[in-house]
Chain A
Amino acid sequence: MAKTINTIINNEKHEIEVPYQMSLLELLREELNMTGTKEGCGNGECGACTVLLDDLPVRSCIILAHEIDQKEVVTIEGLKNTGDYEKIKEVFMAEDAVQCGFCTPGFVMAVKALLNRTKYPNDQDIKEALGGHLCRCTGYEAIHKAVKRLV
C-alpha cells in the first residue's frame, strides 16, 4: 500500500506516492535517482547512508520514507556548489582521505553537520562526529586529519 507524502529534499518540494514499507534510502536512490547516498550495511551501523533530516545527521537505511512526510532532507547532492562542500572536498583531497570513495558521501554529510553545529570543532567533537562511520580503505587517520584542516 502506498500514500502520498510531502517533503522538501535539497530545497525542492516533492509530492510523491510512496509505499509504506520503503526506506528513506530507497526513496532517494530508486525513486528520485539520487545515488550519491550509499547503502552499506543496511542496519544503521556503517554510516554510508547518512543524510540530514531537519538539520540533524541520521541513517537513511533505518528511516521509513513516510517518516519524512512534512520534513526536510539534505543529501550529498544538495551540498553541491555550497562553500562548505568545496572546503570539505579540498581537505579530503589534500589528506588522501578518499580511496574507493564508497563511504565518502556519509563522511562528508557527517562533517557538514559538524560544521553546522560548531565552527571550531575540537578533537573530541571530530571523533564524535565520525565515530559511527566505517571506512575500509584509508584507516580514519587521514579523514581525521582532513577535518582538522578545516579548523
Chain B
Amino acid sequence: MFNPFVYKRPNNLEQVFTLLDQNEDVKIIAGGTDLLVKLREADRSPELLVDIKDLEKLKGIKKNKNEIKIGALTTITEIKESKLIKDEFDALYQAASQFGCYEIRNRATIGGNVVHASPGAEFGVVLFALNAEVEVVGKRDVKRMPIKEFLYDVGSVKLNNELLKSIIIKNKPDLKSSYHRISRVKGMDLALVNAALVKDDKAQYTSYFGAVARTPYNNNKVDELLSQSNLNKALFVKIQKIVDESISPRATSLRASPEYKKKMVVSLLKKCLRDIGEIGDDIDG
C-alpha cells in the first residue's frame, strides 16, 4: 500500500482545474511510472492525486502544415510506433526505442518525462536539440513557449495550476537527427550521459548533452566548430578540450565520474555523427 491519498480521474479539463484550485497538496498522475516509484519511497503522499489519463485533448500525434504536435499523454510506445515520427525525427524514435522497457513504454508518457525533468531523461536532450516548443493549458488560456524556457532546472518546469498540453516540433525537410546514450546496462537503466544531435537543412549543427548539467547542456562553440570545420580527428581533440573546460558534472553522481562523463560526451557526439553519415569508422571512440 502507498501512503494514503485520495484519487480522482476527471474526464475534462474544467474538472482538473477546479481540483487544482481547490486543493493545495495535489499531484498530477499520467502513466505513473515515475510518480508512483517516487511515492513508494516517500514518507507521505500528497493529499490528492488527479489522474489525467482520460483527457482526450492531450493525446495523439498530429501533423499541421510544417509542425508536428505530440500530445503530452502520448505514450512512449505510441511515439516509437508512429510512422510520422520515424520518418521525420530519427532522434525521437531512437530515444523512444531506448526508453525503459516495453511494459514501461506502454504506460509512460512523453509529457511525464518532460515535466519530471530528470537530468538524464531521454527526451530532454532530443527536444532541446530540435528546438521544440510546448503548449501549456491553464484555466483561461493556452500558452506557447520554447521548451528551453519551460524546463529550467532539475525537476522544475514552469507550471502554475496548469498542465503541459503538447509538444510542438517544426519539421524541416532534410533535417537529420540522432540520439545516443551510455548506460550501465542496455534498457531499464537511466543514462549516465546522453546526447542528441540535429543537422538542419542549412548544414548547421545543434548538439545537447544530458546528465552533465542541471538541464540539457549545449555549447555554442562546439556547434560552430561542427558546422564550420572538416570533421576529422584533430577537430574532436579540440572539441574534447572545450568540453573538458566548460562542463563540470557533479562528482557525487552515483553513476559515473566527471572525467568519464566528459569523455563520453565526445564519444556520443561521434556516435551521433556516424549515425547520420557525417563521419566514418576511421574516426574511433
A43 lies within 8 A of chain B by Cβ:
yes
Contacting pair A56 B106 (CB below 8 A): yes
B132 adjacent to chain A (CB < 8 Å)? no
Q: What is the bound-complex CA distance between A57 and B105, given in angstroms? A: 10
Give the number of chain A interface residues (Cβ < 8 Å): 29
Residues on A with C-beta less than 8 A from B102 are: 57, 110, 128-129, 131-132
CB distance from A83 to the nearest CB of B (A): 23
A59 and B6 within 8 A (CB): no
Residues of B within 8 A of A69 (CB): 9
Q: Across the interface, do B187 and A132 meet the contact criterion of CB distance under 8 Å?
A: yes
Q: Is the CB of B106 within 8 A of A1?
A: no
Measured between beta carbons, the chain B residues less than 8 angstroms from A128 are: 102
Check B107 against A20 for contact (C-beta < 8 Å): no
A125's nearest neighbour on chain B, judged by CB, is: B102
Given A21-B3, A63-B32, A132-B187, residue A43 in contact with residue B104 (CB < 8 A):
no
Interface size class of B (residues with CB under 8 A): 20 to 34
Q: Does A19 contact B (CB under 8 A)?
A: yes
Does A40 lie at the interface of the complex (its beta carbon under 8 Å from any beta carbon of B)?
no
B32, B37, B45, B101: the one contacting A132 at CB < 8 Å is B101
- Interchain CA distance A67-B52 in the complex, whole Å: 11
A19 lies within 8 A of B103 (CB): no
The smallest C-beta distance from B23 to any residue of chain A, in angstroms, reads: 14
B1-23, CB under 8 A of A: which get 1 and which 0?
Answer: 11111110100000000000000
CB-based nearest B residue for A26 = B1
Inter-chain CA distance A95–B101, complex, in Å, is: 24
Partner of B32, one of A50, A57, A67, A133: A67
Cβ-based interface call for B36 (8 A): yes
Does chain A have a CB within 8 A of B33?
yes
Q: Does chain A have a CB within 8 A of B255?
A: no
Contact of A44 with B by CB under 8 A: yes
Partner-A contacts on B (CB < 8 A): 1-7, 9, 32-33, 36-37, 40, 45, 49, 51, 53, 77, 100-104, 106-107, 186-188
Listed in ascending order, the chain A residues whose CB lies under 8 Å from chain B are 1, 19-23, 26, 42-45, 47, 50, 56-59, 62-64, 66-67, 69, 110, 128-129, 131-133
- A-B contact list, 19 entries, CB within 8 Å: A20-B49, A21-B1, A21-B5, A21-B45, A23-B1, A50-B103, A56-B106, A59-B103, A62-B33, A62-B36, A62-B107, A63-B32, A63-B107, A64-B2, A64-B32, A67-B9, A110-B103, A132-B101, A132-B104
